[in-house]
Structure 1
Amino acid sequence: MTAQTIHTVDAVVIGAGFGGIYAVHKLHHELGLTTVGFDKADGPGGTWYWNRYPGALSDTESHLYRFSFDRDLLQESTWKSTYITQPEILEYLEDVVDRFDLRRHFKFGTEVTSALYLDDENLWEVTTDHGEVYRAKYVVNAVGLLSAINFPNLPGLDTFEGETIHTAAWPEGKSLAGRRVGVIGTGSTGQQVITSLAPEVEHLTVFVRTPQYSVPVGNRPVTPEQIAEIKADYDRIWERAKNSAVAFGFEESTLPAMSVSEEERNRIFQEAWDHGGGFRFMFGTFGDIATDEAANEAAASFIRAKVAEIIEDPETARKLMPTGLFAKRPLCDSGYYEVYNRPNVEAVAIKENPIREVTAKGVVTEDGVLHELDVLVFATGFDAVDGNYRRIEIRGRDGLHINDHWDGQPTSYLGVSTANFPNWFMVLGPNGPFTNLPPSIETQVEWISDTIGYAERNGVRAIEPTPEAEAEWTETCTEIANATLFTKGDSWIFGANIPGKKPSVLFYLGGLRNYRAVMAEVAADGYRGFEVKSAEMVTV
């Protein structure tokens, strides 16, 4: 019997989206470490590899949904519209991988099944679904914020004779033209797929559980002159984004909503509505929409008036009318409310008329109506932030399983590390920043890379946060979240979309500027909050 081959490298990176690509580049090209990356997909892209559903679009403007670390890359890249589509993002990431010769460092079509810390060797042992075993001093997890699929358990689903598709596993090139389609889920993905499918399907039935506040995205073509103007000003644009709260590129308002007249408020809201962008509407109009209930209601009331104005049928408008706080991740769309004026689109309010069961021919609601379908699309999102970690067997010191360590509430120190898991880093881990993602990803990867570089230069064998530092960071994130209105509503950003999952704070809501300052201070203060062990200290 042949002994199993164990491959030894300096670092393992799990994931090949924005975070994994940049991590491999930093660790190999800049630190000179032998690095191998894994992704179960057959190519790079991360969430943008899998989410090929019709209408898939970033809600960040094109010029800021990209890497900023390489000036030549910024100057040579281009885009077609103010917002960037999934195919364009995937093409961009593939180009980055090839530009920096990173493809040879990745093993695609390979899923990591376990990562076990070997206490005696002070190494991580990483095993793949192909049975390969790698040992590495460092593990960087870039497994994605939104990649562990949430698939609801509906009675009778296995009897359905039609097709079922989750938007995060959309077959490449799949068309539903001329078919009777049902969609469950009306969040960001749901709105995009609904808006895209409506003109081409025979009939579209939208099962609406929670009506959403949404504003226009404002996607429009850009001219070569507009692109050139942005490229000429990129240094200032990125400086402003990284020194802002949400890093979406616009000037964030500090004006209290109630400090101006109702007429002026509505003028400002209308201006933002006409320009487009969910984050711009929430954070660029007034400075207290996310923290003050009166300001929040002013914004919510404006959107509700738009819903009533746009949707022609009063009963349909009632089913789609959002209520309560405007306090989830702000959505934007390409004509979502207008879709319901089409004769082939029907809204079914499943809070008042729940789904009873799925049958061979479609979905039966409690009123006994069979909604006949050829295809049932699930736009039901993800077990966000920690879902992918929990699906891998990850064990730290003394065999501690990550699920036992987190015990229902994922925690971290600074969103990048967790106690009892030495030299084990996360990109977009629990309680990282709530922003436009590429600038946050760059911030974290650069900090992780700098930390690993520090460890290599100074003979550090193991670095991990103390439990006290992790608890303090969790408390900081909780206090900041509790000062906002986000905690008062059910949202995926607190894990509320997963049945049985304990809602908990999953993000640092203090803004990217403050987050970057904290990260810099921790490093400058000798990695405050970390236990740093030299090679001599950990020698057995």
Structure 2
Amino acid sequence: MTESTVDNDVDVLVIGAGVTGIHQLYRAREAGFSVRLLEAGDGVGGVWYWNRYPGARLDSESYTYGYLFSRELFEGWEWQERFAGQPENEGYFNYAVDKLDLRRHITFGARVTSAVFDEGSSTWVVRAGDGIEVRTRFLIAATGVLSIPVFPKVPGRETFKGVAHHTGQWPDEPVDFRGKRVAVVGTGSSGVQVVPAILDDVASLTVYQRSANWCTPLSNTPLTDEHHALLKAGFEGIRERLDASQSGFLHQPRERKAFEDGEDERRAFYEKMWTSPGFSKVISNYADTLTDKQANDAWCAFMAGKIRELVRDPATAEKLIPRDHGWAGKRPPFVTGYFESFNDPKVSLVDLRETPITRVTETGIETVGGLQEFDVIVWASGFDFGTGALTRIGIRGRDGLALEEYWADGPSTFMGVMCHGFPNFFFPAGPHGAAGNNPRYGEDQVNFVADMLEYMREHGHTVAEVPAEAEKTWNQMVADLAVHSSFGEHSYFYGSNVEGKPRSFLLNPGGRPILRKFLAEVTEGRYAGFLA
């Protein structure tokens, strides 16, 4: 891509062609702003472009994850599964981009390397690969919270001479697992999807687990013509329910508490929960499951019993039962056939707390127990959540302030959208932005940004910047409410999986009601204090 193929000056420049960036581009274009989107990859979809590993799949219901601002767009795409796999997700975003005629505004293969605020003109100068330079009035970094893969810091990783890929940097061409000796390192959301997906092909499969997770069945199902008809007929109702939902899901919260039921009744309810789809196990479980330790322990004891039933080898089953956190102490993965995979004699489990990796060699992985040779290593080792992408693209605000320095002790934001010292800069769906179904939170933030830009144009304002006091108020809310979150500091929602990263809560612990309260106060106050 050469500079001549890109508009040198635009009103709105968006970084990232994921679910939020596409929506933000659409809103800005529809409002009549000149627009451009820069995307590092060669296609749209964000995480659903990069994470094309075997088994990659949504655990939010497909029809609640996509766009809801257009009935025509909603009805024009028929999801094939309740929880769509990566190819279908990527296909959906290509469908949306083409249906909305946005592709002509997107420059692919353009990884941003710097973005500098020019105080004299109140614009941003953005540079990307291959000599691209764009000056923009408003810079919107929709870079996502799961964009930067993390590898464990073990010696020799790059010396391995076999095939090795991170799940978040999976190649376009399928990886051949047939008859191969395979290692999967990591048992978070991606690792537990990979294992059963490749099991039939491999000669052997060794799973390296640092921490066990409370995995429960995804309970995926195909969507029939009857489902499609109901979804189309119920579009307005679905949109209204999702719009009102605190978490951005259709699942309904349960009011009854765990010990209001007797043991037999509670066990029958847990059986129902175990097979319920996706996040219903979090949202529709007993009301006190996340707030009362005894209630949480009761659900965990039930899940531990299920793991012991599913995994025939007692020693392996015990290793797969978490000991360091309760239900939703970390993000719970949802699985299909994961525990059953360990009944296959080709599969073995290495507990890295007992047998840590000492190094990677040219031929395999060496632990304190010895060397095991592999043909393929899958690094399912997670991401630099929340801040990873934003602190790596060279953002410089007033007086050359580096975003990575401003956030050296953790992110300081306003609603997960703006931060003080960085005028005309927005990062919807960023750190502190969500605590549920991300596209639904992102939709609220996209609309906030778009409405603000339109207001500025209509009233002659050229600069938007969050007041320091407003940012402080939001961050105090995060600090005050984070202590009540079910997520512990061992979760990647605190950045604990990245060596040297400051421990800081990276979600919005107040959820969507708090986000909307702050949004309403700013918009109803006509952005007082924000605009110049």
Q: TM-score, normalised by structure 1?
A: 0.95
Once the two structures are superposed, what CA deviation does each residue of 1:308-340 show, in whole Å capped at 9, x if it has no partner? 111000111122121232211222101111110
Partner of 2:341: 339
Distance apart, 1:489 and its partner CA: 4.4
- The answer to which of 122-131 and 505-514 deviates more is 505-514
Separation in structure 2 between the aligned mates of residue 241 and residue 263 of structure 1, nearest angstrom:
33
- Give 1:266 shift: 1.9
Unaligned runs of 5+ in 1: 534-540
Contact 2:179–2:202 (CA under 8 A) maintained in structure 1: yes
Task: For residue 6 of structure 1, report the CA deviation from its aligned partner.
Answer: 8.5
C-alpha change, 1:451 and 1:60, in structure 2 (3 Å) is same
Q: Within 2, Cα distance between the matches of 1:512 and 1:264?
A: 32
Judge conservation of contact 2:109–2:129 (CA < 8 Å) in 1: no
After TM superposition, the structure 1 = structure 2 runs for residues 44-443 of structure 1, keeping only pairs within 5 Å, are 44-172=44-172, 173-277=174-278, 279-323=279-323, 324-326=325-327, 327-368=329-370, 370-443=371-444
Residue 230 of structure 1: how far off its partner (Å): 2.0
User: What letter corresponds to residue 427 of structure 2 in structure 1?
Assistant: M
Q: CA deviation at 1:224?
A: 0.5
Distance of 2:521 and 2:263 partners within structure 1: 42
1:25 aligns with 2:15: no
**Counterpart position of 1:463:** 464
From the two aligned structures, give the one with the greater strand fraction: 1
In 2, Cα distance between the equivalents of 1:317 and 1:516?
43
What is the aligned partner in structure 2 of residue 538 from structure 1?
A: none
Q: Structure 2 length normalisation: TM-score?
A: 0.96
Q: How far apart, CA to CA, are the structure 1 residues paired with 2:317 and 2:248?
A: 33
Q: Is the 8 A contact 1:215 1:276 kept in 2?
A: no
Match of 2:531 in 1: 532
Distance 1:288 1:481, change over 3 A: farther
Q: For residues 209 and 195 of structure 2, what CA distance do their matches in structure 1 show?
A: 12
Unaligned runs of 5+ in 2: none
Query: Residue 91 of structure 1 aligns to which amino acid in structure 2?
Result: G
C-alpha spacing 1:478/1:256, structure 2 compared with 1 (3 Å) = farther
* Whole-Å separation in 1 of the counterparts to 2:93 and 2:410: 32
Preserved contact between residue 477 and residue 510 of structure 2 (Cα < 8 Å):
no
Range moving further from structure 2, 375-384 or 463-472: 463-472
CA shift at 1:360, angstroms? 2.1
- The amino acid that maps onto 1:494 is Y
Which segment drifts farther, 93-102 or 474-483?
474-483
Which range is displaced more, 406-415 or 344-353?
Answer: 406-415
Deviates more, 1:75-84 or 1:506-515: 506-515
Assess if the C-alpha contact under 8 Å between 2:81 and 2:222 holds in 1.
Answer: yes
Q: Distance in 2 between matches of 1:194 and 1:408?
A: 36
Q: What's the secondary structure of 2:302's corresponding residue?
A: helix
Q: Secondary structure at the match of 1:178?
A: coil
Aligned partners of 1:333 and 1:194: how far apart in 2? 10
Opposite residue 181 of structure 1, the aligned amino acid is V
Deviations 1:447-504 (A, max 9, x none): 1100111111111111111122112101112222211231x34111111111111111
Q: Offset of 1:407 from its aligned partner?
A: 1.8
Deviations 1:112-139 (A, max 9, x none): 1111000111111111112222111101
SS across alignment from 1:507:
coil
SS at match of 1:11: strand
Distance 1:188 1:493, change over 3 A: same
Structure 1 stretch 232-241 or stretch 372-381: which is displaced more?
232-241
Moved more, 263-272 or 85-94: 263-272
Residues 1-20 of structure 1 show CA distances to partners (whole Å, capped at 9, x for unaligned) of xx999911111100001111
User: What is the CA distance between 1:424 and its match in structure 2?
Assistant: 0.5
2:213–2:332 contact (8 Å) kept in structure 1: no
How many residues were matched structurally?
526
**Cα-Cα RMSD:** 1.6
After superposition, residues 439-518 of structure 1 pair within 5 angstroms as 439-486=440-487, 488-518=488-518
